[in-house]
Structure formats: structure tokens, C-alpha cells
Chain A
Amino acid sequence: MSKKTKNLLKGFYDVSPLLLPVVPFGIIFGAIGIELGFGPYITYATSIIIFSGASQIVFFQLLSNGASSIIAITSSSVVSTRHLLYGAVVAQYLSKLSIIWKLFLSYLLTDQSFAVSQDFFKKNSYDEYKHYHLLGAGLTLWTVWQVTTIIGILLGSIVPEELGLTFTIPLTFLALLINYFRKLDHLFVIFLSGLLSIVFYHAPFKSYIILSSLISLLAISLINKSKKK
């Protein structure tokens, strides 16, 4: 098997446990779009054009609550700003790629593909085909998200609400942090960001994610600086 195929399949393999919440969430999203009255085409279009579950939900919820388009666009964009941080991390490994690769891989950069591929990049920084890992992980997520949105649009809320499957979303993100549980500096960042997200939860335009992230990154950088002195 060529190195490219191997990395592609490794991306698929690494991201597959993370599909557990993506499947019900995609179906729920498709069903919500229809329930809120957006119709099948608009609901599906967001999955291909916006392609970010959290931003899509925010966008629909605000519009259906009567918010203006500007508010809906602003909020879904602010929710998305965390990708700037993901991009900064993977940019260190993708800088030598052509512009076409960068344009395409950026489209596939989601929470889950970022989580698994940045870990792979860290461990395989000298592999010249390492970007195939992100391609494999990203395409897997993209395909599953498209298919499950369509299932939700066609079949409605077939996922019983009693199962509480939305709880798998925080569980997955938690599982992505297990490698840091033994590192005190990371634990500090984790708890600080978590606490801040509760404090800032009502901040305008759903900015609590990016606010908590930036403040906790700033805090750890100040701590690291003061330690050096």
C-alpha cells in the first residue's frame, strides 16, 4: 500500500470513533431544519456551504426566532472563529503544500478532523504525505455529515430524544483531551477555559467559545513566560 493510501486510511480510522455523535447530530440537524420551516433545499445547502454543525444550528435558530440575517450571519461566524486557531496549528505542517491543497483541506478542517490530524502531524512531522491524513479524516466526516443531513431531511426526527444522544457531543470533545489529563499545564488551561465558557455563556453573538479560548491561551502564555524568568 502506498504511503498516501496508508495515511488516508489512517485518517479514516482515527476519526471513526468520533462519528458516534456526528451521525445522530446530522440527522437531528436535518430534521430541525424541516421543523423550523426552512425546507429541504435550504436545510441541505447549509450542510454543503457552511459545513459546520454548530454554526448551522445557530444560524437556523436565530433566523427562526426572528433575528435579522445580519445577526444570524454574525453569530454563526463568531462561533466559527475557533477555526482560526485550528488553522494556525495545522499551518505549521501544511505550509509546503500547493494553494489547491490548502484551499481544499481548509474546507475539510472541522473540530474532529483537526483533533485527530494535528495529533498525527505532531507524531509524523517528517512524513511528506502527512496531509493525506487530514484528507481521509475530513472526507469521512464530510460524507457522513452530508448523508445524515439528508436522512434527517427525508425521515425527520427518527432519533428518539429520550436517548439523550446530544450528550455524546461533549463526551467526544472530552475524549479528545484524554492525552492531556496527566499534564498539569494543560489541565489548568482546560479548567480555566471551561469555567470561562460558563461565565461568558451569555456574551453577545455566541462569542463565549472564542473568548474562553483566547483568554486561557493568554493566561498560559503569561505563566510560561514568568516561569522562564
Chain B
Amino acid sequence: MNIWISIVIAGIINYLTRLGSVLLIKPEKLNESTKKILGYVPSAVFPAIIFPAVFLNETNTIVDIKDPKIIGFVVAVITGYLSKNVLTTIIAGLISYWVIIFFI
């Protein structure tokens, strides 16, 4: 298949995944318990992006407990819990990760 055609098909399907629910879901038809479940969407989707990126290494095996990513992750969790600030959390995680990889 021509690569341009592939890109367009992938783009259309990708767009439909974004548009589908927005277009088809009628909020008045959602009951309260469904709305409540939708409130968990960030908590259900984001960890599936976070965990493999932190706990798996390039060879797709579980990282060592002393891996700099684990340290950065733990620092970010603690900072996030205490500060409740998005930017502070990201920066604290990144700086602690840099300290480990550059100085230790």
C-alpha cells in the first residue's frame, strides 16, 4: 500500500476515535453511575502510559529497583502528593533523575 494512503487511513481512524464519542454520546442518556465511572477515565488511562515507561527498560524487562527512573518516579509522587502542583511535580521528578544519572 502506498504510504500516503496508509497515513490518510491511519489519520481518519485516529480522528474517528476522537470524534466518535463526542458526536454520538448524548449526555442526557447517560445515567448517574455511568457519569461517575467516566470520572475515573484519567486514573484508568494515564497509568497505562506511565507504568511501562517507568518500570520497563528498552528490552521490555522490569527495571532494577535502583534504576534512576524509579527514584525520579518516587520523588515525583511524593512531591505531587505534598505540593499538588503539576509543574513542581514534573520538575522535581526530572531533577532527581538528572542528579542520579549525572552525579551518582
Contacts and interface: CB of A to CB of B under 8 A. Distances in A.
Interface in B26-47: 26-28, 30, 33, 35-47
B50 interface: yes
A32 B39 CA distance: 36
A198 B53 contact: no
Contacts of A194: 47-48, 50-51
A172 interface: yes
A111 B47 CA distance: 12
Contacts, number: 271
Contacts of B18: 80, 83, 86-87, 106-107, 109
Contacts of B14: 50-52, 55, 76-77, 80, 83
Contacts of B49: 54, 111, 169-170, 173, 197, 209
B31 to A, nearest CB: 12
A202 B3 CA distance: 26
Interface string B12-23: 011101111111
A44 B76 CA distance: 33
Bin chain B's interface residue count: 35 or more
A117 to B, nearest CB: 12
B8 interface: yes
A76 B10 contact: yes
B30 to A, nearest CB: 7
A88 B11 contact: no
Given A55-B14, A171-B90, 17 more contacts: A51-B14, A83-B18, A86-B45, A87-B20, A162-B101, A164-B68, A168-B94, A171-B72, A174-B80, A177-B47, A178-B83, A193-B48, A194-B47, A194-B48, A201-B52, A208-B52, A217-B40
Interface of A: 17-18, 20-21, 38, 42, 45-46, 49-52, 54-55, 59, 63, 68-70, 72-73, 76-77, 80-95, 99, 102-103, 105-107, 109, 111, 114-115, 118, 162-164, 166-182, 185-186, 189-191, 193-198, 201-202, 208-209, 212-214, 216-217, 220-221, 224-225
